Amino acid sequence: MSNGEIRCVGLFKIYNEGEPNECRALNGVDLTIELGEFASIIGPSGSGKSTLLNLISCLDTPTRGEVYIEDVGISGLNGVQKARLRREKLGFVFQQFNLIPTMSAAENIELPMRFKGTPKPVRNSKVEEIIELVGLSDKAGNRPSELSGGQQQRVAVARSLANDPQIILADEPTGNLDQNTGKTIMGLLKRLNEEEGKTLVIVTHDSKIAKNARQKIQIVDGKIV
Ligand SMILES: Nc1ncnc2c1ncn2[C@@H]1O[C@H](COP(=O)(O)OP(=O)(O)O)[C@@H](O)[C@H]1O
Ligand SMILES: [Mg+2]
């Protein structure tokens, strides 16, 4: 066993096991992603990409097998420990942005730090730093409805960085964006990998996006191919 990686070992996710409507969303996945890597997970719709990402994200538990993050097996963690792992080590970017509509861009970015209990002055300077990093300083006070899709996704990327996670997990982050805006978001994520050393795991069904990644993981019918 070595440190510094995400490791999936014999991972199965079987919905409705033993029932007539049983669905093997993941069918024995073994996978290692080194920290600092830029990995893409590509596969057709329904192949198990989101299921895999949700297991790595500690959002869901496998039917069998284990996910290790830096040698810590997730199944051994209680709810509080899982929440801490999610808050401190992982950042999330979703296809639907998932911003809070009543909050400004800056407040959305600040939120994970409030959950963590970061003091207000530290939060303020961190928000300023990362909103600049994603090129939205002039939109800090705007609500999501006052921003374009690409700008909203930049806010979501900034929010994922709030607690300075080592790992960023993104599920179809460009799925709701036009091609050019998608390219901008991918450029931003790529820069975070190259310049800030963030581990990037991006789920996509777009081969153009996937080919940007250094580690290309292909999944079909719940299996790595
Ligand atoms: N909660 C659930 N209950 C039953 N089946 C599910 C559930 N979530 C996902 N599935 C099934 O698992 C398979 C993989 O889904 P998913 O991981 O979302 O695929 P992808 O993200 O690659 O499109 C699909 O066949 C889907 O219908
Ligand atoms: Mg999906």
Q: Is the pLDDT of residue 132 over 70?
A: yes
Report the separation in Å between the CA atom of 55 and the middle of ligand 1, taken as the mean of its atom positions.
12
Rounded to an integer, what distance in angstroms lies between the CA atom of residue 171 and that of residue 56?
A: 12
Give the ligand at the shortest distance from the Cα of 63: 1
Rounded to an integer, what distance in angstroms lies between the CA atom of residue 81 and that of residue 83?
A: 5
Q: How confident is the model at residue 1 (pLDDT cuts 50, 70, 90)?
A: very low
Give 155-182 as a DSSP string: HHHHHHTTT--SEEEEESTTTTS-HHHH
pLDDT in tens, 7-46: 999 999 999 999 999 999 999 999 999 999 999 999 999 9
Q: How confident is the model at residue 3 (pLDDT cuts 50, 70, 90)?
A: low
Rounded to an integer, what distance in angstroms lies between the CA atom of residue 28 and that of residue 8?
A: 9
Question: In the Cβ-directed half-sphere of 16, how many Cα atoms lie within 13 Å?
Answer: 5
Give 108-127 as a DSSP string: HHHHHHHHHT--HHHHHHHH
Who's near 160: CB < 8 A, 6+ residues apart? Answer: 91, 92, 93, 168, 170
Report the separation in Å between the CA atom of 56 and the middle of ligand 2, taken as the mean of its atom positions.
14
Q: Is the pLDDT of residue 138 over 60?
A: yes
**pLDDT for position 211:** 86
**pLDDT for position 206:** 87
Q: Is the whole-model pTM more than 0.95? A: no
Q: Is the pLDDT of residue 209 over 90?
A: no
As to burial, measured by CB atoms within 10 angstroms (0-12 exposed, 13-18 middle, 19+ buried), residue 33 is buried
Please, what are the domains in the chain? 5-224 (3.40.50.300)
Give the ligand at the shortest distance from the Cα of 172: 2
Report the separation in Å between the CA atom of 185 and the middle of ligand 1, taken as the mean of its atom positions.
26
Indicate which residue's Cα is closest to atom 20 of ligand 1.
46
Rounded to an integer, what distance in angstroms lies between the CA atom of residue 102 and that of residue 109?
A: 13
Indicate which residue's Cα is closest to atom 1 of ligand 1.
15
pLDDT in tens, 68-110: 999 999 999 999 999 999 999 999 999 999 999 999 999 999 9
Who's near 140: CB < 8 A, 6+ residues apart? Answer: 104, 105, 106, 127, 131
Q: If you average pLDDT over every residue of the chain, what do you get?
A: 94
Report the separation in Å between the CA atom of 48 and the middle of ligand 2, taken as the mean of its atom positions.
7
Average pLDDT over residues 195-212: 91
Average pLDDT over residues 46-75: 95
Pocket of ligand 1 (CB under 6 A): 15, 23, 25, 43, 45-51
**pLDDT for position 205:** 86
Among the residue ranges 15-24, 116-125, 143-152, 203-212, the one predicted with the least confidence is: 203-212
DSSP H stretches of helix in the chain: 49-56, 79-89, 105-116, 120-133, 149-160, 179-196, 207-210
Give ∠ CA 39-36-65 in degrees, rounded to 5.
Answer: 60
